[in-house]
Each structure stands twice: as structure tokens, then as C-alpha cells.
Chain A
Amino acid sequence: MTNSYAPDAGTLMDIFRRMALLKGNDERSRKLLATGRVVAPYYSYRGQEVIPSSVSAALRDDDYICTIYRGIHDMLAKGMPLKQLWAEVAGREDGTCKGKGGPMHLTYPAKGIMVTTGIVGSSMPIANGLAWGSQLDGNDRVTVAYFGDGASNIGAFHEALNLAAVWKLPVVFVCQNNRYGEHTAYATATSAKRIADRAVGYDIPGVRVDGNDPHAMYAAAAEAIARARGGEGPTLIEAMTFRFHGHVMGDADGYMDKAEKQAAIAADPYPRFRAQLIADNVADEATLAKIEADVEAAIDEAVEFALASPFPSTDELRRDVFADDSIVPEESFA
């Protein structure tokens, strides 16, 4: 890693703005879901905000991402509009997907958010195809595939890394290693001491980075993205982090090591980065507080919008199965 990819003050503020939005959105999500006013499976990303905030700060609007069920942070960081996101999570007609995808399949091509999958590992083979398309188009768009540490044990990971390497695709594989695959601790399921080392098997760069440090995370992402943009092929980034709230909302996380969890929460990257920005004179308290207040107001507005949006008509069952809705015979729905 070279200093040329170190974030400047403007970039740090960009990362902070995204992190504030992500953190605020997660906290509101858990709060609202607990009331039962919105019913949805929820995979909290609290604790992992630095990763997509830093990656997205190094991406362009026209770059693509593919992400996974624990991926709302990846999408918000990439620019998914808050109102449509909330409407989708609430299953309403104004959602990004008209309420037909839900939180695990949020999609927003206008910002390059192409696929969100509920299947572990499946973001990667599709990301390759987007990158192949960009390579054929002759443009310099980059595709990021997000996934977790558990996904590095599934076949799709290995197939995708190998193909990306042999085709030299402009793709960056960003593994958010939060130390648990569902309920199973990293070492129980994963033979490699470091997922980044698996890149060696595909002859591509593999970088392990502190995914809770915006400086390091941004530098690693920016370097990998520059390589991809420059036609030098894929990179595997293993971003070390921790998820604060278990696998899915409602799980008691009894399987987690209590001391490890407490230590991770005590080292919460959000307040740490916030304090650092002030200490380094990048921003003052009032500026950061204003950003956070604006985030709260935007979420208020988005939640209100979502809950006021109607549920989709049941006619939607008949739409979007195929491009031509008339193909499916009516009796198929009875």
C-alpha cells in the first residue's frame, strides 16, 4: 500500500457522512422493526460501516456493486435513495423493487446497485459478468463484489476468483470478515488463517486490512480500484471487522464469545473515527453533529414516506415474471 492512496480531508469527511448515514439507518431499523410496524428479516451491519463507506468514497457513481443479504450498508454507501430503500424494506409499492424483492434483494441500477443476493457467495460470479461487460464496452468501470468470511468457503468464491484472474476482470472482491458465518465462528469453518491468503491460489493480490480504520480501508480500496480501472485485474481485500448484533435480528447470539463482542463494541469504529476527525482538526463538533442531525431528519422523512406508501397491488404477482406479462396463463395464479 502506498501513501498516494491516503484519503485527504475531503475524502475523510465523505467517508464520515456515509458512515453517519449507515449507523443512523441501522439503529433506526432495529428500533422500528422491534415495534412491529415494519416486518422484515433484518441482518444488522452495525460495526461494519467503515468498509463500504470507504470503498464507495473511492468508487464512481457509474461503477457497479453486487452485494448480499447483510448489505444495506453497502447500498446506502453507494447512493441508494433512503426513501425508496425504506419503502422496499416495508414492502411498499414505492420501494426500489415495488416491494417484490424486500431487504435481501434491493436493487437500484441508477446508482450501479445491480444485484443483492440472499445466497452466500453468489455476489461474486455475477460481479464477474458485470466486469466482463465493462471490459467488452472498453470503459473503465469497476465492479465491487461484497461478501462475508463465510462465503470464502463456498465454491462460487473459488470459481469466481479463478475466472476473474484468468480473464483479468476489473473487479474488486471485498470480504467483510466479521468473524462469524451465521452462528459459526471463523476458525471452526475456515482453514486459512487469513482469507486474503486465498488470493495466492489465483495469482492475484490479496490484502488484509483493518476494515474498521477508514484510512487503511480507503487506501486499500482505492489501490485495488485503481488497479481494476487500469486493466490490471482483480484484487481480493479481506477487511477485518465485527458485527455487533448477531446474524439476524432476533437471534440471541449465545454462540458469540462475550469478551470478544464486548471488546469489539468498546472499539466501535464510529465514535473512534468521529473523535479522530475532531482531534485532527478535519471537522469540529458542530459540523459532525449537524451531519448526524441531518441523517436523523432524512431517516425520519424516509420512514414516514415508506409507511405512507401503499402496499403493492396483488396484480404484481402477475408482473415481471417475464418481460411480457401476458406469457403466463391466468390459471397459473389461481
Chain B
Amino acid sequence: MTDAATQTRPQAEKTAQITIVEALNRAFVDAMEADEKVLLLGEDVADPEDGGVVGISKGLSTRFGNHRVRSTPIAEQAIVGAAIGASLIGYRPVAEIMLMNFSTVAMDMIVNHAAKLRFMSGGQTGVPITIRMMTGSGIASGGQHSDYLEAWFSHVAGLKVVAPSTPEDAYGLLRACIDDPDPCIFIENLLLYGSKGPAPQAGHKVEIGKAAIRREGSDLTIVSYSRLAVEAQAAAARLAEDGISAEVIDLRSIQPWDKEAVLASVAKTGRLLVVHEATKPFGAGAEIAATVNHELFGRLKAPVHRLGGAFCAVPFSRPLETAFAPDAARIVDAAKSLCA
């Protein structure tokens, strides 16, 4: 497994810390420098519109021109459709959909077209686009600005789905998605945008479908991604204090997901806890749990356990929102029950 976290870095860069916003911006700069076919389109992405609502594309239209970095109308079907069309003739468009919930407006373009054109055309065409979308509960955005819909996208044959949790992975996965010949859904967490981590080396790429082992352990495996992979690491630190050794796997890619890494880990630990912010029923955790149950039946020391968002719309009121999603404390409790 290529594990970005364990790769050696020059000493000078090792100390440099950047945010995910900065990492994504760097990924765009480097990708657009490397390949003139790389484009960015979406609401507010150009500099006259402040380079995106959180500034990820700041400076790009000034540097690469308004023809390559284009602010669009608030029209998600038009955005994804334009990305698909340009990709059919050699371009590598990145479409920014702003909030993940807004992708629902563009589902026809994503599901019926981007995902299926390669198959339906018998391989004559392909749709090498990246669709970026941000989401996450925790900032009082309520029911239509916070959803994790990765299971929907992962359920459609033809889409790849990634969700980085560190600046290095944000950079490396965005570069990988832009280079990828297939449509990629790139999920960004709102709360993680400002979190810092080691700066990626220029040109660093994370292979889609490869997980990162964030922490090694022997008593149970915790599998997560996006913000809750960070919570899982905090939980593992607390568990260690209580003498429970948790291995934490950050999937990074949900479709395809790193089955080998998860199975190898659970074969070792015998216990699996899957954690995600998306509502639990029919979530990505179900697929992982079913696979582990099928492959490791008889070798599990406890039933696979899942933690997910409550089965309701993401609520607004602070105590409700806090109760909605799993956090480190709930991961600790669940892990202890599993190991009891």
C-alpha cells in the first residue's frame, strides 16, 4: 500500500504546515501548470467573485485566464453538462458544485451521463471530470447544506468517490482525480478546510482506491473517512489510555474502497467499527460490513459495528446537531463495547 503518511519528505518541507484550502489551491495551480487542458468552472470560482466561497480557487483566473477558470450561473445541470461536454473532446474540467446537497440538482448529468457514457458508448467516449463538493454538519447549516451523499454516488457504476481528511491527501487526491480518465466525486469537509497538516510535495498523487493506516493497533480496526477519520484518530488516542489498541484506517477513497487494507487489518484485529457522518441505514458502512462479514466470517471476535449520522435531516439547533453525528466520544464508547 502506498501510504502518503509514511512517505519520507525532505526535512525543510516536513515542518511546513498548510491548510486544506491552501493544499487544494496548490493542487489547482500545479495541475493547471502541468496540463493546459485542465479547467475549472462553477459558481463564484473566478477572482472577480473572490475565487470561490471559501477561496480555494483564489488567484487561478488571474493566473490562468477567465477562459480556463470560469464563474458560472447558479445552474448545476449546466455546470456539470458543460464539464461533461468539454471532457468528451479532451479537456479535464473540474466542476465545483459548492455544497454537496446542490449536486442533487445535477443528478441527471452525473448519474445518467457522466457515469454511464463510457459504458453506453462501448468505450468510445469517456468523461474525465472531477466534481468537487463541500459538506458536513457542525456549522449550523441545517438540512440542505450538510449532507453526506457518498453512498448514492458510490452506488452508481462508473463514478469514483474520494473524501480526503488531510492537506496532503486533498492535494494528492485532487491531482489524481484530475488525471483520472473517469468521473470523480471529490468530497470536501467544511470543518476541515482550515485544519493544518504537512505540505504536500509538488506533484504528489494519492492513488484512488488506496487507504491510509493512520494508526496501527491490534484490538480493533476503526474504518472511517473525511472528518470522522480525524475523530477516529482522537478516539484511538483516548482508547490507548484505557489500554485498547485501535488501528485507524482512513479510507480516503470510498469508490473504489481499499478492501485489501481493511480485510488485512480486520484479519489481524478481529473487530471492526465503521464510522461515517452519512446516515447509517444503507450507508457506505453497510457495504464494508457486509464484505468483511462475508470474507472473514468465523474469524471475527465480535459482530461488525457501524456508527453513522442519525436517520433524520441534519438538524439546526446546536444540541441536536451535536447529537446527530458520531464523534470521538461515541467512537470510544462503541470501541469499548466491541472489545468488552
Q: Which residues of A contact B67 (CB under 8 A)?
A: 135-136
- Please give, as numbers and ranges, the residues of chain A lying within 8 Å of B113 by CB-CB distance: 115, 117, 119, 122, 126
Give Cα A160–Cα B158 distance, bound, in whole angstroms. Answer: 24
The verdict on B152 contacting chain A, using a C-beta distance below 8 Å, is: no
CB-CB under 8 A from B81, the residues of chain A are 122, 124-126, 128-129, 156, 159-160
A-B contacts counted at CB < 8 A amount to: 156
Residues of B231-281 contacting chain A, CB below 8 A: 256, 259
What residue of chain B has the Cβ atom nearest to residue A157's Cβ?
B77
A322 pairs with B86, CB closer than 8 A = no
Q: B70 near A: Cβ within 8 Å?
A: yes
Residues 45-104 of B contacting A (Cβ, < 8 Å): 67-68, 70, 72-73, 75, 77-78, 80-91, 93
A163-B73, A327-B209 known; A100-B86 Cβ under 8 A = no
Residue in chain A with minimal CB distance to B109: A125
Which residue, A64, A96, A126, A324, has most C-beta atoms of chain B within 10 A? Answer: A126
Known A-B contacts A119-B108, A321-B158, A327-B256; the reply to A96 vs B124 at CB < 8 A is yes
Cβ-defined contact, A136 with B91, below 8 A: yes
Q: Does A71 contact B (CB under 8 A)?
A: no
How many A residues face the partner with a CB closer than 8 A?
A: 52
**Chain B residues positioned under 8 Å from A66 (CB to CB):** 85
Cβ-defined contact, A321 with B121, below 8 A:
no
Complex-state Cα separation, A99 to B11, whole angstroms = 56
Q: Decide: B109 and A122 in contact? CB cutoff 8 A.
A: yes
A114 and B82: CB pair below 8 A? Answer: no
Interface pair B182/A127, CB less than 8 Å apart: no
Q: Is A41 an interface residue (CB 8 A)?
A: no
Contact B86 A129 (CB under 8 A): yes
Total count of chain B residues near the partner, CB < 8 A: 44
Q: Are B121 and A155 in contact (CB under 8 A)?
A: no
Contact A128–B78 (Cβ < 8 Å)? yes
Q: Does A233 lie at the interface of the complex (its beta carbon under 8 Å from any beta carbon of B)?
A: no
CA distance A143 to B84 in the complex (A): 14
Judging by beta carbons under 8 Å apart, are A107 and B118 in contact? no
**Whole-angstrom distance between the Cβ of A88 and the nearest chain B Cβ:** 8
CB neighbours of A114 from chain B (8 A): 85, 88-89, 125
Q: Is the CB of A132 within 8 A of B82?
A: yes
A162 interfacial by beta-carbon distance below 8 Å: yes
- A163→B23 CA distance, assembly (Å): 30
Name the one of A64, A98, A119, A159 contacting B122, with C-beta atoms under 8 angstroms.
A98
CB of A286 closer than 8 Å to a CB of B: no
Q: Are A115 and B117 in contact (CB under 8 A)?
A: yes
CA distance A127 to B109 in the complex (A): 12
Knowing A126-B113, A129-B87, A156-B108, the reply to whether A322 touches B122 (Cβ < 8 A) is: no
Could you say which residues of chain B place their CB within 8 Å of the CB of A107? 117, 120-122, 124-125
Further pairs besides A125-B109, A129-B93, A322-B158: 15, Cβ < 8 Å: A98-B123, A100-B122, A107-B124, A115-B113, A125-B81, A125-B85, A128-B81, A129-B83, A130-B86, A133-B85, A133-B89, A162-B75, A163-B73, A316-B122, A321-B157
28 contacts between A and B (CB under 8 A): A95-B122, A96-B124, A98-B123, A99-B122, A100-B119, A100-B121, A105-B121, A107-B117, A107-B120, A114-B85, A114-B88, A114-B125, A117-B113, A119-B108, A122-B112, A125-B77, A125-B84, A128-B78, A128-B82, A129-B93, A131-B85, A133-B89, A133-B90, A136-B67, A136-B68, A162-B78, A163-B78, A321-B119
